[in-house]
A = this chain, B = another copy of it.
């Protein structure tokens, strides 16, 4: 995973763009569900992602970037099957926050591994910086998750409650 700078910048741009889109969806859902407090959390996260995207875009300038494949930057889907079940599941602020957290952790770990493995000094520096930003997002989401009531275990497939305390 030793990227050139254009490869790394392409990933970072795509990750931030994807995050911004997903946070907007989550914010809209929470708003439709009359949870303005959690909607505001997601709108803030959307704004951070867009700002970060614009900063990276400025850094890219006229550098030609490679085309990425969707699975290299897209958020994972929630653990449930698609369709109405996932929709109902995600209406719970607790699950929506966990979903966001899982994807932020994935981004954080991605940046951290690039920072550790890259041979390019500038890629290393940027990846370490971005990893730090993602870890702040994870911390912010953790704070919100701690304040959010966990829904009654009516979700048989809830991966959190299904995890043994090993």
Contacts and interface: CB of A to CB of B under 8 A. Distances in A.
B82 A73 contact: yes
A84 B22 contact: no
Contacts of A106: 81-82
Contacts of A124: none
Interface string A70-97: 1111111110011111110010000000
A54 B3 CA distance: 40
A69 interface: yes
A114 interface: yes
Interface string A111-133: 00110000000000000000000
A78 B75 CA distance: 11
Interface of A: 1, 3, 11, 15, 21-22, 25, 29, 69-78, 81-87, 90, 99, 106-107, 109-110, 113-114
Given A29-B69, A76-B76, 14 more contacts: A1-B83, A11-B82, A21-B70, A22-B70, A69-B87, A71-B99, A72-B86, A74-B74, A74-B77, A77-B77, A81-B106, A81-B109, A82-B106, A83-B114
28 contacts: A1-B85, A11-B82, A11-B83, A15-B82, A25-B70, A69-B87, A69-B90, A70-B75, A70-B77, A71-B77, A71-B78, A71-B86, A71-B90, A71-B99, A72-B82, A72-B83, A72-B84, A72-B86, A72-B87, A73-B82, A74-B77, A76-B77, A77-B77, A81-B110, A81-B113, A82-B106, A83-B110, A83-B113
